[in-house]
């Protein structure tokens, strides 16, 4: 796997002191491609519905109410939320690994990133699940 | 961390690599904001509608066109990355693929941009 990672853009393969970090990197490498492939459809469909098929001012409270009266739309939105946030957090983590050289600063930035994204995921999940249509 | 430099060789690939990171970061930042504004719908109908109406002004519509461009570029370039990772034919044509990504992104963003901007001037939805 290390050979494969050396050729790709994840750029986080420098720590080769043990096999475990590389296994985690490889899993993330695959996760980014699989989640990305699904997100191409979910994110673009979502944007098309809320900005192209409907004008942005039409997606008011009544629109949300109608849409979330169907549990399948709640499932669609939650799947998009979960995939987009996890894809995004792994992507920004890789950027932090690449560009932040000071170890303590890097740890601090990643801790902040994970905390903020976890909080937003919780907020979004609560909103989708508890909204009364 | 990164002492040997990053990996996609060649100008086009490196440029696409950087743009992929920038657009990905920006889309994530918007997503964080977007979750907060939808959360308002769970709190109060009036609060959500008041805040949501702001998305209809001209500056935020321009911002939405930018979001569309970033999203489409990131999606198509992501497909290019997957193609280059798994198919030799895509490696051989990676430069053409990168330019195809830019071209399709430009066309979709301009067409989508017209649909997004027009209602601000006509005061009625395009579709």
Q: What is the CATH number of the domain that holds B102?
A: 1.20.1300.10
Nearest CA-CA distance, residue A19 and chain B, Å: 17
Closest Cβ–Cβ partner in A8, A106, A130 for B85: A8
Closest Cβ–Cβ partner in A40, A57, A131 for B56: A57
Q: What distance in Å separates the CA atoms of residue B2 and residue B14, rounded to the nearest whole number?
A: 15
Q: Total domain count for chain B?
A: 1
Residues of A in contact with B111 (CB under 8 A): none
Confirm whether B1 is domain-assigned: no
Q: Do you know the residue count of chain B?
A: 127
Confirm whether B4 is domain-assigned: no
User: Complex ipTM above 0.85?
Assistant: yes
Q: What distance in Å separates the CA atoms of residue B64 and residue B61, rounded to the nearest whole number?
A: 5
Confirm whether B6 is domain-assigned: no
Q: Which of residues 16-75 of B touch A (CB under 8 A)?
A: 17, 21, 24-25, 27-28, 31-32, 35-36, 38-39, 41-42, 45, 48-49, 52-53, 55-56, 61, 64, 67-68, 71-72, 75
Residue range of the domain that includes A13:
2-130
Nearest to B94 by CA among B79, B106, B108, B104: B79
Q: Total domain count for chain A?
A: 1
Confirm whether B3 is domain-assigned: no
Region of poorest pLDDT, from A10-24, A74-88, B54-68, B82-96: A10-24
Backbone torsions φ then ψ of A101, nearest 5 degrees: -85, -35
Residues of B in contact with A39 (CB under 8 A): 75
Residue range of the domain that includes B91:
11-122
Q: Are A114 and A89 in contact (CB under 8 A)?
A: yes
Residue B49 has pLDDT above 70, yes or no: yes
The pLDDT assigned to A7 comes to: 43
pTM of the model: 0.88
pLDDT tens-digit series, residues A89-133: 999 999 999 999 999 999 999 999 999 999 999 999 999 999 997
The CATH number of residue A98's host domain is 1.20.1300.10
Q: What distance in Å separates the CA atoms of residue A99 and residue A107, rounded to the nearest whole number?
A: 12
The pLDDT assigned to A3 comes to: 42
């Amino acid at each position: 796997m290390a050979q494969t990672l050396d050729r790709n853009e994840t750029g986080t393969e420098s720590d080769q002191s043990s096999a475990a970090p590389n296994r985690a990197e490889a899993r993330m490498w695959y996760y980014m491609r699989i989640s990305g492939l699904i997100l191409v459809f979910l994110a673009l469909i979502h944007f098309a519905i809320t900005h192209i098929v409907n004008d942005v001012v039409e997606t008011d409270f009544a629109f949300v109410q109608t849409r979330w009266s169907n549990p399948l739309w709640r499932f669609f939105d939650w799947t998009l939320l979960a995939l987009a946030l996890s894809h995004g957090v792994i992507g920004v983590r890789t950027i932090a690994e690449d560009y932040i050289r000071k170890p303590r600063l890097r740890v601090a930035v990643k801790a902040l990133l994970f905390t903020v994204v976890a909080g937003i995921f919780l907020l979004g999940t609560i909103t989708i699940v508890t909204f009364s249509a | 961390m990164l002492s040997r430099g990053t990996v996609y060789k060649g100008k086009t690939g490196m440029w696409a690599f950087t743009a992929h990171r920038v657009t990905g970061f920006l889309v994530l930042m918007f997503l964080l904001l977007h979750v907060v504004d939808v959360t308002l719908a769970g709190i109060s109908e009036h609060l959500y509608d008041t805040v949501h109406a702001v998305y209809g002004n001209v500056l935020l519509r321009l911002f939405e066109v930018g979001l569309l461009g970033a999203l489409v570029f990131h999606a198509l370039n992501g497909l290019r990355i997957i193609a280059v990772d798994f198919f030799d034919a895509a490696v051989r044509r990676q430069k053409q693929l990168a330019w195809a990504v830019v071209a399709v992104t430009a066309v979709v963003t301009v067409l989508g941009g017209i649909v997004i901007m027009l209602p601000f001037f006509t005061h009625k939805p395009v579709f």
